[in-house]
A and B are shown apart, each in its own frame.
Chain A
Amino acid sequence: MKLTCKKEDLQENIIKVEGAVSVKTTLPVLNNILMEASGNELQLTSTDLELVIKCKMKEVNISEEGSITIPARKFIDIVKELPSEKDIIINVDEKNQITIKCNKINFRIMGLGKSEFPPVLEPKKDSINFKIKQSVLRNMIKKVIFSVSADETRKILTGVYMIIEESELKMVATDGHRLAFIKGAISKVEKPAKIIVPTKVLNEISKSLNDTDEIDVSVLENQIIFKRNDLVVTSRLIDGQYPSYEQIINKIFDKKVRVKTEEMYRAVKRVSLVAIDKTSAVKLKASDAKLVVSAQTVDVGDAEEEIQADYKGEETSIAFNSRYVLDVLKVLEEEETDIQLRDSASAGLIKPVKDDSYIYIIMPVRI
């Protein structure tokens, strides 16, 4: 195999597949990126057996077709350090020795043959397919993914629940204490599907999404595939029954507090400086036209900040884990945010004022 390409092009593409390279594995070849050169295309593939990322580099000057797997970490580090705007020549001999040349720089590293690389299974044909705008998908992922659980002993909650129905995609994520829900438009599907998608694939696909056009999504029995002309990302799904969420997002809240998103974010962030450990909370107290954010920790101190709020009604207080509040305020883009409450022992709802497609529910801590 022999080819020439620009450093920037190569770097951009190996970073796309970096995410699926195994970190801890008993199979050394999974630490490698598979490179396959044919015609004028170089295809890069990486996998940790759960997730597969394939990307294609077009218009590569290939003087000899072939394939090799190359240690990913070393390869990425080397390419990053090579001078900008220069041509890189990669040459692989029959002993799987890879030479990387750039100007007067010469690297030689050992690769492993393609035959060592696990074959990537071709998906079964019976699938559900839809198209979604890349910007919509990226936005949806961003707004729910922080709510998933990191508890590996409850696998189901570590994934994002996707409900695909008619022309709509819904995503739900929860760690048991807070829940994020969002819906977005897709091309019409013939039959509905409900799946649990690992966060890793969503994080990886998010990195590569752009604002231009749509991406194809296919759902198979136990796989999800995101496909663009230059990129294919395949992942296994998480097996199991996701807990029912409908009644959680359809509760009635009788108190509405409207605040400026940015102001609220800054207030919670500041006040929570005295709420030292992970479990400590910020207290919100709404009364006529104002919201008081406060926190206190025994042996540390307390803090309080008053912000302007659009609220009329009886005084009401509630306490939330400050991280749960900050997480959502960070991703809200609208200028104003609604906080809906019932009482200090019931869930609170946070949503953008003008947009009903995104809902975030938090359970309180004891005041």
Chain B
Amino acid sequence: MNSFFASVEQASNPFLKGKPIVVAGDADPETNYARTIVTTASYEARAYGVKTGMTIPEAKRLCPPVLVVVADPEKYIDVSIKMHNILLRFTDLVEAYSIDECFVDISQLNKTPEETAMEMKRMIREELDLTCSVGIATNKLVAKLASDMKKPDGLTVIWDKDIPPLFEKLEAKELWGIGSKTSERLAKFNIKTAKQLGEASEDLLKAEFGINGIKLKLMGQGKYESIIGSYYLDRVVKSVGHSHTLPRDTYDLTVIKGFLRMLCEKTSKRLTKYGQKGRTVHFYVRWEDFTGFGKQVSVNDPTNAGAEIFRLAAGIFDLLMPLTKKVRMVGVSVSQLSPENGQAFVLDEYEKARILKDTMFAINEKFGDFSVKPASVLVAEKFGIKERAGMIGTYLFDNKKKL
């Protein structure tokens, strides 16, 4: 979908149509949007040079008439699900990749790929008043590349025969799945274009990237074997986690730990909802200079309690004391999941904690998230929470499960 959040806002409010707008995650007019970040800019705003990731003051400098709209995740989820339903009229082989991106396997349909794509675009335009860019190819990797080539309202086809001339000039980092870290490592071996990657020695790539080396070489050749499963198949949950960028970088341990505790409680809530417990807790932190650190710890006894997840995550964080850089973001995730079986504790203090956790969960289910919470979360809330944007994927998934 093209500039999805902004387009949805424009489609739902005629006043915003044709005007430069930005959608902002944590709009705080009191501080004059000083640290508020542009989540999405409409094409009208982009014409002024406004980009995702800028602060609102920066956007206003570039584009004085810009209008700031506060993000409304529920609205975007709703439109996203409507978009899925349109695609599902063609086939059930639809993979929701993000809130505004889907892969669809149309190889079994009677129409030509171009006809199918045009029809999808027409329905989305007529029913949702939105435009999208479609990429057609014989695999997900190249289709994703094609969809990014023409925006807005594009339709790009890359057949296998078109790949070699295209990949000759294409930078490797433009390929889906190759981030800045990987491309830096590739640059060490003077691999810059996709073609060079495809022609690189398999042994070399294996030595540098292990098992992923083979996959990288295939990617460089525009080959990528990954199937698109049915939309209705349950996604297997392998790990559950949350991360949060702090409203401003800080050294304040009370604040950082307050945020961490909040993330642990969210993680606990979702694990409980899925009926799962996990044995491994992974903690990561990103510093003010955008470098980061991550480490995990495993225990024998699976848990889904916020306090226990926090104890383990904070144990890792404590290894980093004293802090030498300000913290920008913290994150926690729990993996090695197994079903919750209601195993009780023999020791009083553990059993009390278990009952407390279950009671908190029940209250928060009834009266809303964080109706009751550990006091340390208050510190994080006072510091300011950029809450919603990061939760969209989760909501989408949880809602889909309910449907």
Contacts and interface: CB of A to CB of B under 8 A. Distances in A.
Chain A CB within 10 Å, residue with most, of B312, B342, B346? B346
Contact of B343 (A247, A361, A365): A365
B338 A177 contact: no
Interface stretch (A2-10, A114-122, A278-286, A331-339): A278-286
Chain B CB within 10 Å, residue with most, of A247, A279, A347, A365? A279
A177 B346 contact: yes
Interface string A146-176: 0001110100000000000000000000111
Contacts of A150: 300
A280 B277 CA distance: 13
Given A149-B300, A151-B301, A175-B301, A363 B346 contact: yes
A178 interface: yes
Interface of A is mostly: loop
A243 interface: yes
Nearest to B345: A176
Contact of B341 (A178, A243, A347, A366): A366
Interface stretch (B2-10, B185-193, B347-355): B347-355
Contacts of A153: 297, 299, 311-312, 315
B346 A178 contact: yes
B300 A347 contact: no
B347 A243 contact: yes
A9 to B, nearest CB: 40
A280 B341 contact: yes
A151 B303 CA distance: 12
Chain B CB within 10 Å, residue with most, of A176, A345, A361, A364? A176
B310 to A, nearest CB: 12
B320 interface: no
Contacts of A277: 338-339
Contacts of B338: 277-279
Interface of B: 277, 297, 299-302, 311-312, 315, 338-339, 341-351
A1 interface: no
Contacts of B341: 279-281, 365-366
A174 B344 CA distance: 13
Interface string A171-213: 0001111110000000000000000000000000000000000
Contacts of A278: 338
Given A278-B338, A347-B346, 4 more contacts: A248-B346, A361-B346, A366-B341, A366-B342
Contacts of B348: 243-244, 247-248
A261 interface: no
30 contacts: A150-B300, A151-B300, A151-B301, A153-B297, A153-B299, A153-B311, A174-B346, A174-B347, A175-B301, A176-B346, A176-B350, A177-B346, A178-B346, A179-B347, A243-B347, A243-B348, A244-B348, A247-B348, A248-B346, A279-B339, A279-B341, A321-B343, A362-B346, A363-B343, A363-B346, A364-B343, A365-B341, A365-B343, A366-B341, A366-B343
Contacts of B349: 243
Contacts of A321: 343
Nearest to A247: B348
A347 B348 CA distance: 12
Interface residues on A, range: 20 to 34
Contact of A363 (B300, B312, B344): B344
A182 to B, nearest CB: 16
B221 to A, nearest CB: 40
Interface of A: 149-151, 153, 174-179, 243-244, 247-248, 277-281, 321, 345, 347, 361-366
Chain B CB within 10 Å, residue with most, of A153, A178, A243? A153
Nearest to A154: B299
B346 A365 contact: no
A363 B315 contact: no
Given A243-B348, A243-B349, A279-B338, A177 B343 contact: yes
B339 A365 contact: no
A251 B345 CA distance: 15
Nearest to A277: B338
Contacts of A281: 341
A347 B351 CA distance: 12
Contacts of B343: 177, 279, 321, 363-366
A365 B350 contact: no
A270 B151 CA distance: 63
B315 A176 contact: no
A18 to B, nearest CB: 26
Contacts of B350: 176
Listed from nearest, the 7 A-B pairs whose CB atoms lie closest are A366-B342, A363-B344, A365-B341, A365-B343, A279-B341, A150-B300, A151-B299
Contacts of B302: 279
B267 to A, nearest CB: 17
Nearest to B343: A365
B215 to A, nearest CB: 31
A151 B312 CA distance: 11
Nearest to A249: B346
B263 to A, nearest CB: 19
Contacts of B346: 174, 176-179, 248, 347, 361-363
Contact of A176 (B301, B312, B339): B301
Nearest to A147: B346
B311 to A, nearest CB: 8
Contacts of A361: 346
A133 B301 CA distance: 35
Contacts of A279: 277, 302, 338-339, 341, 343
A225 B160 CA distance: 74
Nearest to A321: B343
A279 to B, nearest CB: 5
A363 B339 contact: no
